[in-house]
Amino acid sequence: MRFYKLIIFIFLLLGLDSIAQPGIGSAKALIKIEFEDVYGLNINHPEVNLDINTIEKFTQGTQTNWLNSHLVITGIKSFEISIKTIQSNFVSNNLETNVAVSNINVNARINSKTNSIYLSDASQILIRENSGSMINYIDVNYKIPPENTFAFINSPTNTFETLIVYTLIPN
């Protein structure tokens, strides 16, 4: 009797599905997952200081070191980075000064490409990359050339600020 119970149990376990539900089978579905081009822009050094605090910096200009990976772009296709400021002149103590933001030179490099522009409140292409990899690192250098340092001399203030807007433009 015990032998028969074991056979019936195995039969029910293995074959009940096909006996109890004849004509029901399995089906397959193809699921496609499509990703749109996803881009991202991150700024690693959100505050940059240029000091003109010595006679040498007034006469020879001043600049930051290269800020490695200052801009980090994620995306797999080509792109452009544009740059602009939110006003044409620097601000000091929440008041606009008469010192133009165009006194600042911005240099960018990615791989073996470099570009240089002067700041403006009009959008400009800072750098283009045609072979976008998943993560792209752009090094940036900010500079006040010697011919522009004198714009800051006769000002009643000693701190100038502007907000720079970087825009990622996928191609």
pLDDT recorded at residue 155: 74
pLDDT recorded at residue 147: 96
Average pLDDT of adjacent 10-residue blocks, the chain of 171 residues: 42 48 66 70 92 90 96 89 96 92 97 95 94 86 95 81 94 83
The fold adopted by the segment(s) 40-170 is: Immunoglobulin-like (2.60.40)
pLDDT recorded at residue 6: 41
**If phi over 0 gives left and psi between -120 and 50 gives alpha, with beta otherwise, what is residue 111?**
left
Buried b / exposed e along 109-122 (16+ C-beta atoms within 10 A): bbeeeeeebebeee
Domain range summary for the chain, segments of one domain joined by +: 40-170
pLDDT recorded at residue 39: 83
pLDDT recorded at residue 10: 44
pLDDT recorded at residue 88: 97
SS3 21: coil
pLDDT recorded at residue 91: 94
pLDDT recorded at residue 111: 87
How many residues are present in the chain? Answer: 171
pTM: 0.76
pLDDT recorded at residue 34: 61
What is the identity of the amino acid at 144? I
